[in-house]
């Protein structure tokens, strides 16, 4: 039993912290295989080189160990010497690429410390295209290079799915390499910035944190031509305030969507959401929100999100101060134009390569001529997870976004039972477990999973549990 092998599908932060906690819980590195592109720990979130792509929370919230919440901050002070702009009044907001360096240094330390025999983990920089049961009773994964890997246990850590276009894309645009390259479907790695010239007219679709990253990077490059931000409501995320939270509010029992909604309304102070007291109250509401969520059935979860979803998505994800400052500068100079409109189609243009169809708030239709379209909607569907639903391995969650999991991260099978050797860690668990997207929440999930593995495989108990922090 002791040397059962573990396959982690995905290579981002979730995979890296899972390795760290598994090894620290006594699992031998040589029994762990990772499949996923890029450096382990970088992933979609931190695998970007651009120096303007920053963490959206202060350093103290980016922890791997709950008992060492200042570890990244201390590492940053010792190892980041070229980023004075990181230091802001509301905290230190470092570059995402520097956080990836920190994760790598933690991995290196933990793997170097792992007790003998230490042969290291195996990392295949491929994509898993399908997963099925193996004759041995475990799992068999097929990789995109044709390789097959069998494992006793599989941990799904596929993370944030590639964003999809939120509109119709004319076939002719995609068919021509000259215009297809002007559509940036997934802007997270920032490589597209190398191709855009300062005279290009750019449409940014969406107005969340990814849009702010794009705007900040373009501002730094002294972008001269018009940037159109296409968003029906036209609101940029609020900036992170200098908040300090107290304890959680008392929630009415039993949890019901209407009661949760009323609690939000009565608890948030009558102040602007930019005020640190307003954000502190919002952060306090988050402390036990997952317990409220866990008590709701699927219908109630959908009902709650219909009523609360706009408030949640608007104020849950706040921006680093540097990004808001850059957007304000570009808006004041007239380069950034916020269009209260929905993108409905991308077509070939006449005078410019691309012509966009937009629909305004009152239903009015207009066209916009641009050179580039950057998809900053962040919304996508993971085809690999969907294939597990089709194969009868898992069940779609209440919102059809990920797979249903137990509070112990086990995938729930179609018959309602929990799979002890197929688990999931990462943002895809949000529909099942609530507010679990942030790095600190991913760390907690990894600790939970590692504790359970240690109990099963090396006879040790669980080590940690905790609440929401970032
Ligand atoms: C752009 C961005 C910025 C963020 N910034 C912050 C932040 O500042 N602070 C914070 O707390 N949280 C942030 N988050 C939230 C983020 O979800 C978590 O912090 C955490 O990084 C999630 O890690 P992950 O490994 O689950 O996901 P990801 O970073 O999405 O990594 C998943 C990895 O798995 C790979 N993969 C996917 N499918 C397969 C497959 N079938 N086979 C093999 N590999 C596969 C992907 O290619 C990717 O490399 C951010 C998220 C994004 C998208």
Maximum alpha-carbon separation in the chain: 69
CA distance 193 to 271: 38
Q: Give me the sign of the Cα torsion angle 428, 52, 73, 285.
A: negative
The mean per-residue pLDDT over the stretch 185-204 comes to 96
Torsion of CA 7, 13, 14, 16, to 10 degrees: 40
Cβ of 55 below 6 Å from ligand 1: yes
Please give, one letter per residue, the 3-state secondary structure of 249-273. CCCCCCCCHHHHHHHHHHHCCCCCC
CA distance 417 to 7: 21
- Confidence (pTM): 0.94
- Give the phi and the psi of residue 463 in degrees, each rounded to 5: -110, -45
Pocket test for ligand 1, best of 40, 156, 160 (most atoms within 8 A of CB): 160
Cβ of 443 below 6 Å from ligand 1: no
CA distance 227 to 113: 49
Task: Please provide the average confidence, as pLDDT, over all residues in the chain.
Answer: 93
Which domains, from first to last, does the chain contain?
Answer: 6-161+381-458 (3.50.50.60), 168-238+318-375 (3.50.50.60), 257-315 (no CATH)
CA distance 379 to 401: 10
Atom of ligand 1 nearest to the CA of 143: 42
Q: What are the CA-CA distances from residue 346 to residues 168, 169, 375 (Å)?
A: 6, 5, 12
Pocket test for ligand 1, best of 7, 10, 15, 144 (most atoms within 8 A of CB): 10
pLDDT at 457: 80
pLDDT digits (tens, 9 = 90+) for 114-157: 665 546 899 999 999 999 999 888 999 999 999 999 999 999 99
Q: Looking at ligand 1, which residue's alpha carbon is closest to its atom 37?
A: 158
Please tell me the distance between residue 197's alpha carbon and the centre of ligand 1 in angstroms.
28
H or E stretch at 183: strand 183-184
pLDDT digits (tens, 9 = 90+) for 35-92: 999 999 999 999 999 999 999 999 999 999 999 999 999 999 999 999 999 999 999 9
Please tell me the distance between residue 44's alpha carbon and the centre of ligand 1 in angstroms.
4
- Give the phi and the psi of residue 375 in degrees, each rounded to 5: -85, 100
pLDDT at 160 over 80: yes
Pocket test for ligand 1, best of 7, 9, 12 (most atoms within 8 A of CB): 12
CA distance 101 to 76: 10
Counting residues of the chain whose pLDDT is more than 70, the rounded percentage is 96
Please tell me the distance between residue 159's alpha carbon and the centre of ligand 1 in angstroms.
4
pLDDT at 459 over 90: no
Contacts of 456 (CB under 8 A, 6+ apart): 1, 420
Q: Which residue spans within 56-133 are E strands per DSSP?
A: 87-88, 91-92, 122-124, 128-133
Q: Looking at ligand 1, which residue's alpha carbon is closest to its atom 2?
A: 45
Q: Do the bridges between strand 365-370 and strand 168-169 make them parallel or antiparallel, or are there none, so unpaired?
A: unpaired
Q: Looking at ligand 1, which residue's alpha carbon is closest to its atom 15?
A: 438
Please tell me the distance between residue 54's alpha carbon and the centre of ligand 1 in angstroms.
14
Cβ of 154 below 6 Å from ligand 1: no
Coil, helix or strand at residue 53: coil
Q: How many CA atoms lie within 13 A of 300 on its CB side?
A: 15
Contacts of 359 (CB under 8 A, 6+ apart): 341, 342, 344, 365
pLDDT at 470: 43
pLDDT digits (tens, 9 = 90+) for 200-236: 999 999 999 999 999 999 999 999 999 999 999 888 9
Read off the pLDDT band of 94 (50, 70, 90): very high
């Amino acid at each position: 039993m002791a040397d059962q092998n573990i396959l982690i599908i995905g290579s981002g932060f979730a995979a890296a912290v899972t390795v760290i906690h598994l090894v620290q819980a006594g699992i031998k590195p040589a029994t762990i295989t990772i499949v996923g592109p890029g450096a382990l720990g970088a992933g979609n979130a931190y695998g970007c080189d651009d120096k303007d792509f920053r963490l959206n929370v202060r350093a103290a919230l980016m922890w791997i160990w709950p008992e060492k919440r200042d570890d990244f901050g201390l590492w940053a002070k010792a190892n980041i010497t070229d980023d004075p702009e990181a230091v802001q009044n509301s905290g230190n907001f470092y570059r995402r690429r520097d956080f990836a360096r920190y994760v790598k240094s933690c991995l290196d330390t933990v793997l170097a410390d792992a007790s003998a025999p230490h042969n290291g983990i195996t990392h295949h920089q491929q994509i898993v295209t399908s997963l099925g049961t193996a004759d041995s009773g475990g799992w068999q994964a097929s990789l995109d290079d044709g390789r097959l890997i069998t494992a006793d246990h599989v941990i799904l850590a596929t993370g944030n799915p590639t964003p999809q276009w939120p509109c119709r894309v004319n076939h002719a645009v995609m068919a021509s390499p000259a215009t297809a390259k002007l559509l940036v479907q997934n802007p997270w790695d920032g490589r597209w910035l190398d191709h855009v010239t300062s005279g290009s007219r750019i449409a940014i679709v969406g107005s969340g944190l990814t849009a702010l990253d794009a705007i900040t990077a373009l501002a730094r490059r002294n972008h001269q031509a018009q940037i159109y931000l296409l968003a029906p409501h036209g609101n940029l995320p609020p900036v992170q305030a200098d908040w300090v939270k107290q304890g959680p509010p008392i929630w009415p029992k039993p949890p019901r969507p209407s009661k949760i909604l009323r609690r939000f309304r009565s608890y948030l102070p009558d102040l602007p959401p930019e005020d640190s007291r307003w954000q502190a109250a919002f952060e306090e509401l988050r402390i036990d929100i997952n317990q409220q969520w866990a008590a709701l059935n699927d219908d109630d979860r959908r009902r709650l999100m219909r009523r609360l979803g706009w408030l949640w998505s608007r104020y849950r994800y706040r921006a680093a101060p540097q990004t808001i400052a850059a957007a304000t500068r570009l808006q004041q100079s007239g380069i950034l134009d916020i269009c209260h409109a929905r993108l409905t189609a991308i077509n070939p243009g006449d005078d410019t390569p691309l012509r966009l169809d937009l629909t305004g708030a009152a239903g009015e239709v207009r066209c916009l001529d641009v050179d580039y379209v950057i998809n900053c909607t962040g919304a996508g569907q993971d085809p690999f997870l969907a294939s597990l639903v089709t194969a009868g391995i898992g069940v779609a969650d209440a919102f059809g976004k990920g797979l249903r999991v137990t509070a112990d991260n086990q995938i729930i099978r179609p018959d309602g039972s929990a799979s002890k050797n197929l688990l999931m860690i990462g943002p895809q668990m949000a529909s099942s477990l609530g507010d679990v997207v942030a790095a600190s929440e991913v760390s907690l999930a990894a600790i939970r999973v590692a504790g359970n593995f240690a109990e099963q495989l090396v006879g040790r108990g669980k080590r940690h549990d905790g609440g929401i922090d970032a």
